Every structure is written in C-alpha cells, then in structure tokens.
A and B are shown apart, each in its own frame.
Chain A
Amino acid sequence: MRLRLPRLLLGLIVGGALGMAGGVFQGLLRNPMADPYLVGISAGAGFGAVMAMLFGWNFTVFGLGSLPFLAFAGALATVFIVYRLARVGGKVPVTSFLLAGVAIGFLLNALMSLMMVGMGRDLHRVFYWLMGTFSGRGWNELRLLIPYFSLGFILILWQLRNLNLLVLGEEAALHLGVNVERTKVVLITGASLLTASAVAVSGLIGFVGLIVPHIMRLLIGPDHRFLVPFCGIAGGVFLMWGDTLARSLFPPLEIPVGIITALAGGPFFLYLLRRHQGRYFGQGG
C-alpha cells in the first residue's frame, strides 16, 4: 500500500494536469484536435530527456534529477521560443502559434531521433520514457510535481472566465472587455507548466489531453469554467485506471501506461475525425 498510494496519486495528478492543459489548449487554439503536446512541448521535453540520457548527465537541481529537470526545462523553453516566434507586432495570433509549434516540434523530433541513433544501450530507457510510464516513481516525484502543478492550476483558474470569451474569437473577446494578449500569455504559461511538470515525472503519456476534454465537453458543455476542472478530474481518474491496468495486465511485466492510453485514444481520435469531416479546418486566427 505504501508503494501503491503514491503511484495512484501520481496518476491522478498527471492525468489531471494533462486533461486540464488539453481543455485549455483546445479552447485557446479554437481547435478540437489540439492537445497539450501540440505546440512543441512534447518535442522539447523529449529532446531534453534524451540529451540527459545520451550524455549520462547526473546532477540535481532543486531536488530534481537531471532527466526530469531537462525534460521540464526543455518543454518550457520550447513553448517560450514558439511563443516568441509567433509574435507579430506585439500580438500572438493563435494560428501562427500553432504553426510555429508544429514546425519547432518537427525540428526537435528530428534532432532527438538523431541523438537516439547514436545511443545504443540506453535506447530501451528512452523508449520507455517516450511512451510514458510511472514505473519506479513515488513520493519524491510527487513532492516535486505539486508546486508546479499548483502554480499552473491557479494561473489557469484565474483566466477560465476569459477563455470562454476567447473561444468566440479574439476580436469579440476584446470587445467584451478581455485583455486578450494577457489572457493568452497566462493561459499558455499555466497550461505549459502543467504539461511540463507532468512530462517531467512520467514521460510522454499521449491522448489523455486529447480525448478527455472531448468527452467532458459532451457531458459538461462548453463553459470552460466547469469544463476545465472536470477535465482535470476525469483525466486523473482515467490515468489512474490506465496505470492500474498497465501494471496488472501482464504481471509481472509492466507496460508503459502511454500504450494503454494510446490504445484507448487512437480509435476515439479516428472516430472524431470521421464525425467532424474536416469541419474544424480553416477556422483559426
């Protein structure tokens, strides 16, 4: 029990972080296909993590090991670069933000693959990390996660009301009294903190941030003040169950929980694509 409890809590918080960040990014980018990793966060985190493993760095920053620290820093630095790249005349149009994120993501993924070619013996570790797993994580990770999670959560909560207006388009939001650029910075920072801290402790767990907001939108409705917190709860519960499955499916072998979520998420994603038939494209900016 003493071993299981921290893993259950980790699953809950990481899933919650990914679920909320997904809800925020989908609203912010006005694109239901968006997920927390879309704007280069995953590539940045992966790049940092692979670098830590390749060079065998071993240091501790604020109690963080080199790998989680570099993953966390890589994720945040990438979002920052993407944000700066997308900046035009003091404004960050969401379409450029999205495109810059995808472009930087490709670049970093390519560099990451290049590094992996030269790795050999550590490839197994990298693979596990990229798929996302809670294996061997415990109280220590949880302690590190909580401050960043809380900060991100508070930032997001502060601007949820304005996110509702932002989904009507930036012009409309401005006319309704929203300080649009500030709201975007706060939300991007908050969602990135949540995602980066989650990635740092558990690697790249896919699809939680994509499917959970979709299901919740069907159940809760589009009011982000309720939608996003419920995404957090649902994401947490979903990942907790996923992790339990990951541990108990083929004992004593533990499969990366990211495989479980992807197996559940892939078909759902296809279903969404079929259902919306490209309705959402060409509506950015």
Chain B
Amino acid sequence: MPLYRVENLDFSYGEDPVLKGINLTIEEGDFVGILGPNGSGKSTLLKVMSGLLQPKKGRVFLGENEVHKIPPGERARQLGVVPQETYLDFPFMLEEVVAMGRYPHLGWWGNLRYKDMEIVEEALSTTGLLELRHRSIHQLSGGERQRGIIARALAQNPRVLLLDEPVSNLDIKYQQGIFELLLKLNRREGLTIILISHDLNLASQYCKDLILLDRGQLKAKGSSEEVLTPENISQVYQVEVDVEKWSPLEKPRINLRPPKEENKTQKGEEAWKIHLVGGGGSAWRLLKRLNAAGHDLTIGVVNEGDTDSEGARELKIPCVREIPFNHISGEKLDQALEMMLKADLVVVTEVPFGRGNIGNLEMALRALKKGKKVFVIEGENMENRDFTGGEALKIWEEMKENGARDISPRELEQILKEGA
C-alpha cells in the first residue's frame, strides 16, 4: 500500500480553485520535490497533505485513513512538518523546542522519560546541534534555527517528513547542509521526504521524484529527467531555459536564458524574421536592438571573430561565418541567400564593401529580384564605402531600380513597429 494516495483532489480557499484534480501516490521511502511557480498551489497541497486543510473534493489518504480525519495526536506520530514560518517569540532553549517534538508521545503533563531524552539527543546530534542545545532559540542563526525545527520534527519519530521551502532563506552552505541531512535521513533511516523547493537545480540534484504544479494542476511527475524539460519549464514558469546534463551527478541542470524582452509572447503580431548583412561591427548595435525587441534574426556572411560575428554568437543568433581575409566562398554565399529567402526582410547595414565581401551585396540583389523586401541603411553613403572601384555602387543602383529602400536605423525600427 502506498504511503500517500491523493485522489482527484480539489481545493479552494474561497471561490477560486487552488488545486484541481490532483492524483498522486507516494511510496514509503520516496524523496519527492514539489515544484511550481508562486501561486501554483504547492504550499496548499502540502497543507492538505499534512491534514491542516480539508479537501473540497476528492480524498487524501495517509496509509489507510484520510489524513484530515486522523486525530491530531495520532497524526503527529506519523507526520513531521516543517512549516515555512515558525513563531519563536518566547525564549525557549533549543533543547526545549526539540523536546516539543516528543509531545505527541507523552502524557497530559508532558513529562519526558529517559527514552524521550535519548531521542531528543539523537535528533540534536543528527542535525549537528548537540553543542548548541542549551542556547536560547533567539541566539541561533537562521540555518541553526531551521535545523532545530527539523530536529523537532525528527523527534516526533515520524514516517514522513513534510517541508515547505526548508532552505529558502539560507545561504548555499546551509542549503547544502540541509539537503545532505535530508538525503542521509532518507537513505539511512528510510524516512519518506516530501518538500517544496523553488530551486530547481537543488531539487533535481537531491530528489528522487519531482512533481511539477501549474496553476493548481499536476503538470508533470516522475524523475528529474522527465519533469525538468525545457518545454515543461517554459510552459509553467514562462521563461526560456537550457537544460544540460550535469556530469558529476548525471542530473539535469537548468540555466536561464537571457529574456527576449517584451514581444516574445506575441511573436505572431509584431516579431519579424530579419536577415542582416553586416560585417566589421556595422550590424552589432542594430542586432542588439532588434534582438531585444523580440525579432527573429539571422546574419551573414561575416568574418569569423569580428564584432558582428561574436555578437551573434553571444545572442545565440544564427550566423554564416567565413575565415577572415578570404573572399567569401560560394558555398557560404548560398547559405546566406537561403537565410535571406527565409526572412521577411533583408537589411544591409552600413558596411564598407571590398572585393572580399561584395558577394554579400550581390546576394541581397538576388533576394530582391526574387521578391524579398530589402532595406539598405544610409544607402546614399555607398559612394564613400565602395572600395571595389564602382562595382558596389552599380549593384546599389540596380537594387534601387528594383525597389530597395534607403533608410536610417530609426526609420527601420519605426517601420518594424508599425508593421508596414
């Protein structure tokens, strides 16, 4: 029989549903991480599972019984809960706080027997707090206090530990300390652990199974490989991420991608596919601005290692590159032309043309003749940046005849914004 069985759970505080149709089973000895954005219902799910809240619909079983129907004393012998916040206004000693974990096992006056004191001592030593036992709770650091609360839950001798963001206020040393402690308890004592985490990488690293919540619904459950996919994360958290296999543990690791600012979500309306012809840094500023505006960019052909090439690499923009100081090869030009034809729009930046890169301009002309829209930035200056003895100027004249427009960068952005 599974330790936990959640069947068709619905919950709401008022009218708005917080949890919808959750189905789950958790086995004895599992180490489960509950993930999801703020407001996705993680804490609520944990509160229902701890018996604090009663399901609106559906049932949550702990063993054979519905968890909220188990009397509090009996429940406290099975479940240890580490809430997000604990009030510690009264200056109890750490040892006294941990000993409170024994209360569900004690009589009405709460007298500790020898066995209870041993268990308290063990909980203190497991959490590395033995030396601080006589300190007032107010004299402890945040990490020590959190370990104290975990020690209190351990002193309950529970079958399962529920933790709501146990490390959210702690520095990385304590984060690791607490997760290592939980892992040890899980492996050595077979204690079932269910925790909420905002840190996807920590959860991936330590939890055996993950549960991903999205607006009150179960989006995914399973191993970290199954749950932490770029698709799941972008759908649930609405951020773009790269997921890599992190070699020391062979676990997925998540890296945030820099955001493509405002237009990313409404791509269909305002984002354009644009191919830039640049080189020598002439396209770099435009590249950054258009990328930030959410447009879909390609660039080429540019020389390997120049500013435009490196900029494209940094922004992860597809780019055709050629070895420096060579004539651009036909093969690369074909690739660039292919990009141009896929784009809605070709923009030739204010690049000087010489023998080496005149091919780029020729390709722009060919794209134009095939019906592509082509803009040339500051075309009237072509005379000054023609180092081919008039050839570039000639192509530019032909382009103008075929409808290429001469514009400034500002005009270009205006046109893109208006969608003309």
A residues sitting closer than 8 Å to B (CB atoms) are 27, 30, 158, 160-161, 164-165, 167-169, 171-172, 174-180, 217, 221-223, 225, 280, 283
Contacts and interface: CB of A to CB of B under 8 A. Distances in A.
A221 to B, nearest CB: 8
Interface of B: 50-52, 71-77, 79-81, 83, 85-93, 96-97, 100-101, 103-104, 106, 108-110, 152-153, 156
A176 B82 CA distance: 10
A167 B87 contact: yes
A64 to B, nearest CB: 32
A161 B81 contact: no
Contacts of A221: 91-93
A283 B89 contact: yes
A161 B74 CA distance: 17
Given A161-B109, A164-B100, A175 B90 contact: no
Contacts, number: 77
30 contacts: A30-B87, A30-B89, A158-B108, A161-B103, A161-B106, A161-B110, A165-B100, A167-B87, A167-B90, A168-B86, A169-B83, A169-B87, A171-B52, A172-B83, A172-B86, A174-B51, A174-B52, A175-B50, A175-B83, A175-B153, A176-B101, A176-B103, A176-B152, A179-B72, A179-B73, A217-B90, A223-B92, A223-B96, A280-B89, A283-B89
B83 A165 contact: no
A103 to B, nearest CB: 24
A225 B91 contact: no
A171 B89 contact: no
Contacts of B104: 176-177
A217 B72 CA distance: 29
B286 to A, nearest CB: 53
Residue among A168, A179, A180, A217 with most chain B CB within 10 A: A168
A237 to B, nearest CB: 24
Given A30-B89, A168-B88, A175-B50, A225 B75 contact: no
B7 to A, nearest CB: 23
Nearest to A180: B72
A167 B89 CA distance: 8
A172 B96 CA distance: 15
B50 A164 contact: no
Nearest to B74: A177
Given A168-B88, A221-B91, A223-B92, 17 more contacts: A27-B90, A161-B103, A161-B108, A167-B87, A168-B97, A169-B83, A172-B83, A174-B72, A175-B52, A175-B83, A176-B101, A176-B152, A177-B72, A221-B93, A222-B90, A223-B96, A283-B87
A169 B74 CA distance: 19
Contacts of A174: 51-52, 72
B101 A225 contact: no
Residue among A30, A171, A180, A217 with most chain B CB within 10 A: A171
Contacts of B50: 175
A169 B85 CA distance: 9
A174 B152 CA distance: 14
A177 B102 CA distance: 10
Contacts of B106: 161
B87 A172 contact: yes
- Ranked nearest first, the 4 interchain pairs of A and B with the lowest CB-CB distance are A177-B76, A177-B104, A161-B110, A222-B90
Nearest to A224: B90
A176 B100 contact: yes
B83 A164 contact: no
B159 to A, nearest CB: 14
Nearest to B109: A161
A177 B97 CA distance: 15
A171 B86 CA distance: 8
B76 to A, nearest CB: 3
A171 B110 CA distance: 19
A175 B109 contact: no
Given A165-B100, A283-B87, A283-B89, A177 B109 contact: no
B102 to A, nearest CB: 9
Nearest to A279: B89
Contacts of B152: 176
A222 B92 contact: yes
A177 B77 contact: yes
